[in-house]
Each structure stands twice: as C-alpha cells, then as structure tokens.
Amino acid sequence: MAPTDSTESDRLRSAGRCGLLIAGNLLPLVGVIVWNWDLAALLVLYGVEGVVTAATAALKMLFAERVPSARYAGSDLPFRELLDKRGGVRVVEGWPPIYPRNLPFALGMGATFLFVWGGIGALVVADFVAEASGTLLTTVLLSGVGLLVTRLAEFRTEYLGGGEYTDVSARSAATTPSRQMILVFCLLPLLAVLDESRAAGTVLLVVVVALKTLTDAYGFWVDHLDRPPLRVGEWLLGVDETGDPPPAVTAPDRPVDARVGTDTSAVLFTGLIPVALALVSRGGLLGVLGGVLAITLLGLPGLVVGGAVVTAVAGANLLVHYVRYGTLEYRRRGDTLVCYDEWLDEPQWTCEIDAIRDCSVERRITSKLFGTTVVTFEADDARFRVGPVSDADIAFDALGFPYVDASQDEPNRGVAVAAVGLAGLFLAIPAGLYLAPGVSTADAVGVAVVLVPTTATVVGPLLWVSLYNA
C-alpha cells in the first residue's frame, strides 16, 4: 500500500507542477488580451525569462552529480583544467556539494546564453521603456519578478530538495535554456511580420505564446516525467542526455607511508604566467590599447574599471590554478602512489609504483626561481604528473620512485641573448618613430597601434625563450 501511496503522491505533485508551468506560460495571454501587450512587451518578458533560466541553469550545473556522456571540446570552455577534478565541496549546510569539474560548463553556458539574451534584449528594451505606459511597464516587470521567484523556488524545492541533481549532468542542465533560445530564434521572422501587420497582431501573439507553452510542456514531459522524446522534438531540439556516473578512484586501505605536498609559491607563480602571456599576445595588447583609450576619455573611472577587470581575470586564473594543483598531496600507500586532494577530500588518481616508467623532468621558470621540480611519467597506459615539489631527490625517494635525474641542462645563454636582441629590435621601431623629430606623435601612435599587436606574437615567444635560457 505504501508504494502505491507514494506513486500517487508523485503523480499529484507532477500534475501540480505541470499545471503551474502551463499557467505561468499562459500568463502573457492575459497581458496580450487584457493589458494590451505588444511585440516589444512580449520580447522583453521572454528576454527576462531567458536570462533568469540561463542563470538558474548555470547554478544547477554546479551541483550536477553526473558527468556528460560525451566529452566537450576543452578549448571551448573556460578553466578547462578543472574538467578532470574529482570530488566536491559543500558550501551550504544541508545542500549537496558543488563540483569544481562543473565550473567550466557553468561559466561557458552562462556567459553564452546571457550574451545572447542580453543582445536580443538590448534591441528592444530601450525602445520599450521609452514608449511603454506606466501600467504596461509595471505588468511586464511584475511578470518578470514572478518568473524569477518561480525558477528559484523550483531550484530549491525540486532540484535540490527533490534530489534531481543526482540524475543530471552539467550538459543536461542546459537543455531548458537551449530550447528557449532555439524557439525565440525560430519565432523572430514571425515576430517581424507581426510588427508590420498590426491587423493580425493579437492572433499572432497568441500563436507565439501557445508555441512557447508547448515547448516548455514538452521539456517537462521529457525531463521530469521520464517519457521518451517525440520524433519531432528530437528533430527540432535534439536528444537529451542524463550523463554517466563519475568515474571512481579508490585508494588502497593501507597506512600512509609518505606524504609530499606541492610548493605553494611555485603553484601561485605558475598561475600568473598565463595572464602575463595573454597580456603580451595580440588580443591582450589590443585590450591594453583599448584600456589606455578608455582611461584617456574617461579618466579615473576608466582606470578603476580597467584595473578591476584585470584584477578579476588574474584573480580567477590564479584561484583556479591553485585549486587544480595547490591542494594536492602525493601519498605512498604500500606499493601504490595516490594523488590526493586535501581540500576536496578525494583521491584524484592512483598508480602502481612498480608500473612507473619514462620519467621526465620539465624545464620551468619555477625550477630556477623556487628550486622546485615537476616530473611526468607513464603508468598503466596513462600519463601522470607530480609537482611542483621542493627537494626533488628527497621527495621522489620518499614516494618510492625509480631513479629520477632532477637536474636540468645548463641554460643556453646565447639563445637568451638572441631572443632579447630580436625582441628589442621589434620594440625599437615604434619607439624610434616616437622619438624621431620629423614624425608627429599622432603618426607614431598610429604606427604603434598597428605594429605592436602584430609583432607581439613574435616578441612574446622570444621573451619567453629568454626567460627559460637566462
């Protein structure tokens, strides 16, 4: 009797949620018929819903327990070095843990959808706010607030409270905003016709609302009722995936014989290197020139905004790099080497010490500055990394490594001199034009704007080579 009662309760709850979903989607009909909503009002409301849905979907991604069935192209995601991170951290008591491996998906999806919806909204919001009456603006604003409250309540009660996060991956959490974006782009031609033909305005607006309602109802059918997707839905919206369980890494149940942690200073310094390289790239220099122009035009506010952007980008890269490597500890348990994350309290990988082969020590700036070593090796048909660690000989001996020559070749000072000389030659061209008496400052700056970003792709690697060989 209990299972039957439980099933009946689930059905009633699903029916109630479906009813609220349909009622919320049909609310714009009231706006069209009763409050005389027009095209701009409907677009603004759907734009607000798109932003709210994308933001809550990005939040859902952080808690998704499963991993995508097919691996994303790593180059398309920010902070892709976190994709292989195992384990999660609980930030709110009573909530499930947040998984760092989902952060690239959340940032990538959130930025993409917010950019798209922000672009669509910018086309109509200004005109709508300028021309809409006070009543029309108030009704649209209240409808948007209602959408926000509904999405947040669904996230708290159903996604977290109902345990939906255990059955989804970061990719599947993006299906709802994907459906909404596809639908709006498919309806844009219809809305353009509506803008030109006011005679059929109300009828076409009702059609738009009905199609939006059917799309959300289809999503509820597939995502929450576990029904097979319809063929038309597969063709238009694709097939949803639930993901796979995260791969488990089990450490042997034996006492820890040795522990070696990473060097914090070397990890933090290495985290700043990508930021420095980005600044000397073509795009980075264009950004710097844009910042200089903004400071020239805006003064102190431009300087504050530019400094805040650079600080945020550098801080984010530094934090992500530290989470990736700074919290690791390498442990030897009998004949097994375990890479353990102390912050996430989760083993990252294991390998048999007897299987370690092809060890190689990488040349790094941190090796010269901090006396640390990073070694890569093969074991069990996979490639692993240990480091950066201090006192390499003592560390590798404690971990049971086969003999590793941690010394590095003597730097080639000739390469360093040649690299610095060529870099100086490229940089001397705009500097010489600026100092030449027959060349105006405007001409020198114009040449620098064109020449410096172009030569940065050559100067940057040369300076990098000189640092390695100094």
Provide the CA 137 distance to its chain's centre, in angstroms: 34
Number of H helices, E strands in the chain: 14, 7
**Confidence tier at 406 by pLDDT (50, 70, 90):** low
Cβ proximity of 265 and 370 under 8 Å: yes
Q: What is the pLDDT of residue 46?
A: 73
Q: What is the pLDDT of residue 262?
A: 93
Average of per-residue pLDDT values in the chain: 74
Cis peptide before 3 (omega within 30 of 0): no
Q: What is the pLDDT of residue 297?
A: 73
Cα separation, 102 vs 63, whole angstroms: 8
Tell me the one-letter amino acid at 21. Answer: L
For 64, the 3-state DSSP assignment is coil
Dig out the tokens for 155 from the structure: 């996230």
Q: pLDDT tens for residues 220-279?
A: 665 555 555 555 454 455 545 667 888 888 888 889 999 999 999 999 888 887 777 666
**Confidence tier at 327 by pLDDT (50, 70, 90):** very high
DSSP for 273-309, written as a single string: HHHHHHHTSHHHHHHHHHHHHHHHHH-HHHHHHHHHH
Q: How many angstroms separate the first and last alpha carbons of the chain?
A: 79
Cα separation, 351 vs 335, whole angstroms: 9
Cα separation, 129 vs 47, whole angstroms: 14
DSSP for 209-236, written as a single string: HHHHHHHHHHHHHHHTS-PPPPHHHHHH
Q: pLDDT tens for residues 38-52?
A: 666 776 777 777 778
Least confident of 149-153, 167-171, 429-433: 429-433
192 versus 319: which is more confidently predicted?
Answer: 319
The residue-averaged pLDDT of 139-162 equals 80
Least confident of 53-67, 263-277, 287-301: 287-301
Cα separation, 312 vs 316, whole angstroms: 6
Taking 70 as the threshold, does the pLDDT of residue 167 lie above it? yes
Cβ proximity of 31 and 140 under 8 Å: yes
Q: Is the dihedral of CA 22, 27, 28, 34 positive or negative?
A: positive
Cβ proximity of 28 and 37 under 8 Å: yes
**Confidence tier at 400 by pLDDT (50, 70, 90):** confident
Q: What is the pLDDT of residue 281?
A: 62
Cα separation, 364 vs 372, whole angstroms: 9
Q: What is the pLDDT of residue 235?
A: 45
Cα separation, 115 vs 109, whole angstroms: 10
Q: pLDDT tens for residues 423-456?
A: 677 667 667 766 777 667 666 666 666 666 666 6
Q: What is the pLDDT of residue 102?
A: 92
Cβ proximity of 321 and 81 under 8 Å: yes
pTM for the model = 0.74
Q: What is the pLDDT of residue 441?
A: 66
Q: What is the pLDDT of residue 342?
A: 92
Least confident of 26-30, 74-78, 311-315, 409-413: 409-413
Q: pLDDT tens for residues 81-125?
A: 888 899 999 988 889 999 999 999 888 877 777 676 666 666 656
Q: What is the pLDDT of residue 62?
A: 92
Cα separation, 180 vs 53, whole angstroms: 9
Taking 80 as the threshold, does the pLDDT of residue 70 lie above it? no
Helices 134-154 and 39-63, axial angle in degrees (round to 10): 20
Provide the CA 233 distance to its chain's centre, in angstroms: 28
Taking 90 as the threshold, does the pLDDT of residue 340 lie above it? yes
Taking 50 as the threshold, does the pLDDT of residue 1 lie above it? no
* DSSP single-letter state for residue 66: B
